[in-house]
Amino acid sequence: MPADQPHGATAASQQPAAQQSAPTAAPAAPARLAQAALRDVPWEIGVAKPDPAIVVDGVTRTFGGLTAVSVDHLEIQRSGITGLIGPNGAGKTTLFNLLTGFDQPNSGTWSFDGRSLGKLSPHQVARLGVVRTFQLTKALSRLSVMQNMLLGAKDQRGEGFFRSLVPGVWRAQEKANTEKALDLLARFKLDAKKDDFAGTLSGGQRKLLEMARALMSDPKVVMLDEPMAGVNPALTQSLLGHVKDLREQGMTVIFVEHDMDVVRDISDWVVVMAAGKVIAEGPPESISQNRAVVDAYLGAHHDAPLTVDEEERVLAEAAAAIAREEGVSGEVLSSESTDREGTQR
């Protein structure tokens, strides 16, 4: 089913001016290429992309009675940055887990470059070039920064035992890996910390380390789960720069982010999930006006914006309903009912 397009516009008539004008304006070449490739793609859920790296079909994952993921069809364009957004619990992390072999679905298939990734372990998926970082960082705190990096290389390439039986090969490999790690650490401004325990790094530095570690295996697709979350604002710009760099190097990036300014800044395409499903996709400027998206974020399904009176009535009704359940006075609760976080969960 087509996603709502703002003002009933067609994809063609809504292309942003920046994409139509001469390429003298800001974005770097890879960004322009990625955006140009997607220029004529309709803003429809499940729409085919000109050059998809990842294709997902009928992937579902349930936990007990809860459907965490139910994606009919999704294509991720190669060498672009796709922002994956959606309210808490939408299924974004679960989808990452499934695509990278950290979890198995109830049904469905998905592929990278036409090769099915179903039933592969995270190692095998990584060896094919698809890596991810975690929402909660998984840097190993009792290892040094450098050891974390080297583990990334071995781990993700699935190398190890047999090679380690041949010392010469192993040493050459380790030297190459160490050099590569130093290069990456310098790029992420972590080289001065290479001998420190990862546990001593700040949250933001751990995120950087995780991203650097993911790059040790020369991936083709990088999935970043909230790379900016918990990162000191002073570091977010450089982190954003690193994400853009991945695109410069031809990588396909999928990243989960809650901050819409960040999403608008770096995404070539945005996929919106809610309650396990993809509810909209399109370029960043198509998303904020999209009714399904607005509804999903508000957690409400109404046909027109609420007036102040209506909102007060809805809140009063909710307070009264909770009061009936809890056996307390509605007035006591009505002052607390604005805590949306509490009532949504």
Ligand X SMILES: Nc1ncnc2c1ncn2[C@@H]1O[C@H](COP(=O)(O)OP(=O)(O)OP(=O)(O)O)[C@@H](O)[C@H]1O
As measured in angstroms, the least distance from the Cβ of 88 to Mg ion is 8
Query: Measured from the CB of residue 45, what is the shortest distance to ligand X in angstroms?
Result: 17
Nearer Cβ to ligand X (149/256) = 256
Map residues 30-69 to x or -, x wherever contact with ligand X holds by CB under 6 A: ---------------------------------x--x-x-
Nearer residue to ligand X within complex by CB, 102 or 170: 102
Considering the complex, what minimum distance in angstroms separates the CB of residue 229 from ligand X? 9
Of residues 217, 208, 207, the one with CA closest to residue 185: 208
Tokens representing 7 are 């003002």
Q: Which does 63 bind (CB under 5 to 8 A by kind): Mg ion, ligand X, none?
A: ligand X
Q: Closest distance between ligand X and the C-beta of residue 94, in Å? A: 3
Decide if residue 135 touches ligand X (CB under 6 A). Answer: yes
Q: Looking only at residues 291 through 310 of this chain, which bind ligand X when binding is defined by CB under 6 A?
A: none
What's the closest the beta carbon of residue 91 comes to ligand X, in angstroms? 4
Q: What is the largest CA-CA distance in the chain?
A: 77
| Binding to ligand X in span 65-104, by CB under 6 A | 66, 68, 86, 88-94
Q: Which is nearer to Mg ion, 84 or 185 (CB)?
A: 84
What backbone torsions phi and psi does residue 214 show, to the nearest 5 degrees? -60, -30
Shortest reach from residue 280's CB to Mg ion, in Å:
18
Pick 63 or 109: Cβ nearer ligand X = 63
Query: Min. distance of Cβ 64 from ligand X in angstroms?
Result: 7
**Which residue lies nearer to ligand X by CB, 93 or 177?**
93
Residues that bind Mg ion (CB under 5 A): 92-93, 135
Residue closer to ligand X by CB (options 121, 329) is 121
CB under 5 to 8 A by kind: which of Mg ion, ligand X, none does 86 bind? ligand X
CA distance 99 to 55: 10
90 binds, among Mg ion, ligand X, none (CB under 5 to 8 A by kind): ligand X
Shortest Å, Cβ 276 to Mg ion: 13
Residues in 177-196 at the binding interface with ligand X, rule: CB under 6 A:
none
Q: Which does 66 bind (CB under 5 to 8 A by kind): Mg ion, ligand X, none?
A: ligand X
Ramachandran class of 89: left when φ > 0, alpha when ψ lies in -120 to 50, beta otherwise = left
Residues interacting with ligand X, by CB under 6 A?
63, 66, 68, 86, 88-94, 135
